[in-house]
């Protein structure tokens, strides 16, 4: 290995080192994203897709729906976004539907 580096000029060695570093960084980023990219961490995880349907006629006055996926009353909001926002610096809030 040392003999290989002796034959390389400084620019080529730097490019090899930079390429290896870039590959390692890219691998780290892709791995960490794939593990933490799930927004939904607890609601109906056994399902392929979580979907709720509500008839507008069934709504009364004001209905507040969760958008942070942390509510223990999902799909309704229980204010869990406040803790999420405090921990992450995010600004997510609920979807509020008023029936008039």
Q: Which of 49, 62, 73, 100 is catalytic?
A: 49
**Distance in Å from the first CA to the final CA of the chain:** 76
CB 14 within 8 A of CB 22: no
- CB 62 within 8 Å of CB 76: no
φ and ψ of 95, to 5 deg: -95, 120
Active site residue 62: no
Q: Which residues are designated catalytic?
A: 49
């Amino acid at each position: 290995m040392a003999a290989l580096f002796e034959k390389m000029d400084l620019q080529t060695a730097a490019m090899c080192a930079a390429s290896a570093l870039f590959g390692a960084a890219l691998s780290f980023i892709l791995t960490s994203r794939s593990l933490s990219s799930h927004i939904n961490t607890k609601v109906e995880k056994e399902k392929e897709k979580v979907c709720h349907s509500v008839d507008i006629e069934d709504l009364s006055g004001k209905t507040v729906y969760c958008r942070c996926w942390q509510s223990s009353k999902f799909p309704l909001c229980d204010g869990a976004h406040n803790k999420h926002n405090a921990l992450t610096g995010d600004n997510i809030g609920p979807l509020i539907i008023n029936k008039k």
